[in-house]
Amino acid sequence: MRPLDLLDFALKTVTRYRLRTGLLLAAMAIGVAAVILLTALGEGARRYVANQFSALGTHLLIVLPGRNETRGGQPPMLGETPRDLTIDDALALTRSRLIRRLAPLVVGSATVSFAGRSRETNILGSTAELLAVRHLELAQGQFLPALDPRRAAPVCVLGNQVRDELFGPEPAVGRWLRIGDRRFRVIGVLAPKGQSLGTDVDNTAIIPLASAQNLFNTASLFRVLVEVDRREDTARAQQAILTLIRARHEGEDDITVITQDAVLATFDKILRTLTLAVGGIAAISLVVAGILIMNVMLVSVTQRTQEIGLLKALGTTPRTIRGIFLGEAAILACWGAGAGLVIGAAGVGVGRFLYPTFPLAPPWWAVLAALGVAIGTALLFALLPARRAARLDPVQALAGR
Amino acid sequence: MIRLADVQRVFLVGGQPVYALQDVNLRVAAGEYLAIMGPSGSGKSTLLNIIGLLDRPSRGRYELDGGDMTVQDDEALAQIRRTKIGFVFQSFHLIARLSAFENVELPLLLAGMAATERRGRVERALRALGLGERARHRPDQLSGGERQRVAIARAMIMEPRMLLADEPTGNLDRTAGHEVLAILEELNRRGITLLVVTHDPEIGERTRRCLRLLDGRIVADVNQTAGHAPA
């Protein structure tokens, strides 16, 4: 029998039993759609995080005081004091050609009060560069002035939420408020940004670096955010920073430099694993659909015993009979998988429409795997009924026994 | 053409051997018209199934056109059935979801013939049996006589040299039965070997040769010279 004729014959059977075919297609389609939608969610989450990172600036290095390794052995012969990271260290880094800009940070928490209302708020001490390094946007007014970072100034920029809580509908820019026991004038308000990697920018007040050091009575920096000129230079910049600081700290490696890529890679790995896991769970429904196909095929072999007997009497070889039943399974699986693909794509489309900020997208490997598993399990599970049909005794089958 | 030697067919029913056929020796020459008669359970259908290669003898030898059929595997037997043997059944065995055309086309489809060639042959076969207008009808839209004619067209489409009919008129009224029988006899006149299993003594009298079975044995093998009596 020619393969095309075989498929055509199987097609006539499939289209004849409409309800049965419809139900099988639904089961198959739901399975494929589930895999596509769930992996799309996982992949969407991964892309969402990646986008968050790139919103932070993709070529960012974070310099932390203190080292990130275990030391031991005998106590040092000479006195060894852990050195702070200072403003001077940060300024020294700006001389490197590889670094485009940097923002030293002092972080603390203080009470911000205005007209009887007060609120415990994150205080960020930094320089004018922070705006560009953290990709912040202003809603009103202006950002910190580009002064000498060693000089304090009584100005502040408020996060969106702080502004709303303290000022309500009144204008904030130009007003004076208190942070801790010092007075600051509001010169700008940040656009809402939301949670961005652990720091809630909306619930933050930004003041000049030196003012923050005075406020929290510290000479050291919490960290320095460094933006590298080109992404390829990240590793070299990391080395350059370590070398520079070592020279300034009398040969001691007492800072840690984290690259953005390292953090991103970790998130990436976690979310990829998660996507695989949910995809795998969804794939179980495909296997269930495969078993359903086997079940229906077995019933079909019983129902069509006489027809199989007739085919045998007409000289159909066992191989062709197997082919006919496998062909039916293949048609059901392909249609079901196709329908699932359409439903999945439609679901992704609706999801994107409802949540435009969430980059919902099924990874290509999940789509291929869903189709492969659907068609593979259908054929695998159809093998048993097909073989049973091929082995029927023609005389018994013709008599319908 | 057909040669059975000491053929035996044993079924196990509840652990007990039941002899459906015993010591059957039979020769049928090409072009013969043979009736196989006998009461229910006498083994006539089993004999027909063995000749039609749907069943295998438990013992003995079956030669078809000089070839030993007892040593062939299922694939080979299917090939031989397809090209050399046509079947006509009491209950027609048409596939309900296929049209008359598609039912007749089925053996050609299985043989792997090209669609264009199939079309002409099926149309000719249907016209020859007066079914040209009914090609698009499904079996449930046809009368009993028409269904059996479709089945005969299907049995003959591969141009086999032997036609095996198991009670071909059993489900038909008298008129339709005579019609079907006339078609089968016309095919026999053109050289097809025709074997008919039947209860109907009238058919038994029409054939040139009549075989009587009882309890799995051939008890009579009568050569009638009367030939075809008018219906």
Altogether, the residues listed in chain A come to a count of 401
Q: What mean pLDDT is predicted for residues B141-170? A: 94
A13-31 pLDDT, tens digit per residue, is: 888 888 989 999 999 999 9
- Which pLDDT band, with edges at 50, 70 and 90, does A218 fall under? confident
| pTM of the entire predicted model | 0.72
Q: What mean pLDDT is predicted for residues A359-388? A: 91
> Is A63's Cβ below 8 Å from some Cβ in B?
no
- Which pLDDT band, with edges at 50, 70 and 90, does A249 fall under? confident
B115-132 pLDDT, tens digit per residue, is: 999 999 999 999 999 999
pLDDT at A57: 63
Say what the alpha-carbon torsion angle B215, B216, B218, B219 is, to the nearest 10 degrees: -10
- Which pLDDT band, with edges at 50, 70 and 90, does A55 fall under? low
Q: What mean pLDDT is predicted for residues B84-107? A: 93
Most confident listed range (A87-101, A226-240, B96-110)? B96-110
CB contact (8 A) between residue A394 and residue B106: no
B22-81 pLDDT, tens digit per residue, is: 999 999 999 999 999 999 889 999 999 999 999 999 999 999 998 999 899 988 999 999
- Which pLDDT band, with edges at 50, 70 and 90, does A157 fall under? very high
Domains of chain B are: 2-223 (3.40.50.300)
pLDDT at B151: 95
CB contact (8 A) between residue B78 and residue A313: no
Nearest to A352 by CA among A32, A41, A39: A41
> Is A387's Cβ below 8 Å from some Cβ in B?
no
Q: What mean pLDDT is predicted for residues A240-244? A: 88
| Residues of chain B neighbouring A9 (CB-CB closer than 8 A) | 109
Residue A82, pLDDT above cutoff 70? no
- Token pair for B125: 């076969």
Q: Which of B74, B75, B82 sits opposite A314 (nearest CB)?
A: B82
* Residue A314 exposed, middle or buried by CB count within 10 Å (0-12, 13-18, 19+): buried
- The answer to whether A130 touches A225, Cβ cutoff 8 Å, is yes
Q: Which of A9, A313, A395 sits opposite B81 (nearest CB)?
A: A313
Q: What is the mean pLDDT of chain A?
A: 87
pLDDT at B201: 87
Q: What mean pLDDT is predicted for residues A222-240? A: 85
pLDDT at A73: 54
d(CA B118, CA B113): 6
- Which pLDDT band, with edges at 50, 70 and 90, does B229 fall under? very low
> Is A109's Cβ below 8 Å from some Cβ in B?
no
| Residues of chain B neighbouring A307 (CB-CB closer than 8 A) | 95
pLDDT at A80: 47
Residue A195, pLDDT above cutoff 60? no
